[in-house]
A and B are shown apart, each in its own frame.
Chain A
Amino acid sequence: MSKPRRLGRRTFLQIAATVSAGGSILACKEPVTVWKFFTPEEIATLDAVCERIIPADDYPGASWAGVVNYIDRKVTYVFQDKQSQYRKGLAGVNDTSQALFEADFTALSAEQQDSVLETLSSGKAPGEAWKTQSPSSFFNLVISHAMQGFYGDPRHGGNKDFISWRMLGIPHPPVRARRPAAPVA
């Protein structure tokens, strides 16, 4: 097993380049969709929200880690009861961002996106969707799902390449066996 190492900026850029060369799935506009529950437009909004929840710095964030994969899968099965919250809530994110900045959420700068999210978390946000649903509880839901997708096991669709575990410098993939008195790596 290799020693836990930090992914340097260079390696990250290489990985990022490979991914974009493969064609970003987020840009996919064909009617055939790889998503189980969300529409491609919803995915783009959700991905942008998650990326502000766990943003990239010198280490990749939620978007690179495929957090939306996780959410799409889980909302299809285990979290089925959250489907209508997501449907309404993602529309609401755009409502609020239109009201504040006259553009959809994905078109905003990072600072503008943050202020939309701050508005949601304050509990009072402009937008049709928020008449029947609390913006802060929707945002809290996305925060917890984003954390799960980023820090949870990759088998569930997120945390690609154990990226969050690498960030924390903990062994990946899971250690299978070691001697009881194994020296600290």
Chain B
Amino acid sequence: MALPHVNAVVIGSGAGGGVAAKELAEAGLSVVLLERGRWQTAFDYRKDDLQNQRTTQLGPAFGPHDLKKNPRVRVDDNGNARVVYANGWDYQNNAMCVGGGTLSYGAMAWRFMEQDFRMRSTYGDVENSTLADWPISYDDLEPFYEKAEWEIGVSGDDSGNPFKAPRKKALPMPALPHSRECEILKPAALRLGLHPFDIPMLRNTVPFNERPACMRCRWCVGFACECNAKCGTQNTVIPKALATGNCELRTECLAKEVVIDDRGRAKAVAYFDENDRLQEQPCDLVVVSCSAIESARLLLNSKSKLFPEGLGNRSDWVGRNLQGHSYCGAMGLFDEDVYDDLGPGAQIAICDYNHGNPGMKTGAMLANEFIRLPIQFAESNYVGVKRWGIDHKNYMRTMFRRTIRVMGPVQEIPVFDARVSVDPAVKDFWGIPVARLSGSKHPHCVEVSYYIAERAEAWLKEAGAIQTWRQPSGMGLSGGQHQAGTCRMGDDPATSVVNRNGQIHDCDNVFVADGSLHVTNGGFNPVLTILANAYRISDYITREWKGSKFR
């Protein structure tokens, strides 16, 4: 039996989808929010060092849970394809639960810089790259950044950052008191003539939005917050969407495809419900927010008479330009304890190397790392010491409490062949072709990562490190937690998937609102930009809705 018609189906309840559901529901549209994962809390897999979203030895705590039901395919540089699962790095997982990545993230809340929206104009052509400007500018996004900061909640103090784009309104909450790492790194940065400041974070530092302040624990990045101080969509906009009475959240519901009618418009979303039954939800419009890899997969799997290669894929751009970041940095050993067991860890950053690096076309913010877990430190073996025996034990005993890591996400130069396609053979448990990931980074990003790692090292040395180790990035495809770029936003349908309003070029009632839109991904963690864009796109939809364009 057909389900009753609704105005909008939002697919995916992460950063982008959570915001879209709330904005549409508050504007009076009836909304169904489909989420393949469960509604999880901090009391699932509580503080488990072996099962969370950062260390996944026993599996990713915040989805996908059933590894075997949810495979992907990874093609290596020699063209060999193999099936990969969500507990492995190659899967490029983010999270799959209500809130998506925002339930367990580290919660850095960056506004991109003005140049980040004009990378092509700033740096010109780059060989073997699809580098382009965004169709919108920082000024177009500014009011929505502000909305995200105030509705979802951001603390911090970026007044010491002269490189930031202008903001109209200060952040709603102050920064946390400084940790020991911060006290060591800040004066050192100032001595080097750099500009350190307190990272903006989606985290309550004082009671805000009826939730308490952070209690500074070790289980932050990769975990759901036990005192609910971290601000995600699951504890802000999604409850608000539900409170309107206009939004129904359906968990454990996996969208299979957007169903297209004979005129080339979306008429419904087909999905498998919590009992694995195929359902069809009729609607006026669809918002796709499954994160970069799964949004591309969904569009590619939405084949119809008018879109035989997948929805929005007339120019073969869906799934292209997959990008995360080229992570790099350095670790320094100090001759005293620097570890103070205070979460979230990351606290101090500089933007001196985001742009204007000599002879280079990209750069990164640098910040101290999130708080460490023993198992993660043991496995990473940052210094190349023998991995077992007394050497290993000595490494843990001397290094764990006496090292600081400074890391940065180098902004990727997008590559057309770094991509998501759908695998011709491998299907998931429900029979849907899975995402197939192939390609690698642009070599220039790796070059820049060496430079950024040197800058991180210099900072640590100035701070008194007695020994340092540089950690540049490798060539491997990046995506994972910062995945973006696969449904590029642009004015020209020949070189992009959606227009500046997130609307698929040749299908006006399907929108994309998540990291997929990003033309370039900034030298920053991306979530605040995803949230802001979702507000901006929802604003467009609700304005058009009043003119009844979609009915």
Contacts and interface: CB of A to CB of B under 8 A. Distances in A.
- A and B associate: yes
Contact of A177 (B215, B342, B392): B215
Given A114-B389, A178-B216, A168 B375 contact: no
Contact of B50 (A117, A148, A181): A148
Nearest to A185: B341
Interface residues of A, number: 39
A156 interface: yes
A165 B401 CA distance: 11
Contacts of A146: 388
A184 B180 contact: yes
A144 interface: yes
Interface in A103-132: 114, 117
18 contacts: A55-B389, A57-B390, A57-B393, A61-B393, A78-B59, A143-B388, A148-B57, A151-B378, A152-B48, A164-B396, A169-B401, A171-B218, A175-B217, A178-B216, A180-B205, A180-B216, A181-B177, A184-B340
Interface string A144-185: 101110111101100000001101111100110111111011
Nearest to A121: B388
B393 A55 contact: yes
Contacts of B214: 180
Given A78-B58, A151-B49, A174 B218 contact: yes
Contact of A171 (B177, B341, B389, B392): B341
Interface string B373-387: 111001100000001
Contacts of B176: 180
Contact of B374 (A55, A151, A184): A151
B47 interface: yes
Nearest to A165: B374
Counting chain B residues whose Cβ lies within 8 A of the other chain, the interface size class is: 35 or more
Interface in B156-203: 176-177, 180
A180 B213 contact: yes
A96 B59 CA distance: 33
B227 interface: yes
B546 interface: no
A164 B377 CA distance: 12
B400 interface: yes
Interface in B362-412: 373-375, 378-379, 387-390, 392-393, 396-397, 400-401
A153 B48 contact: yes
Nearest to A61: B393
Interface string A29-63: 00000000000000000000000111101010100
B219 interface: yes
A174 B215 CA distance: 13
B375 A167 contact: no
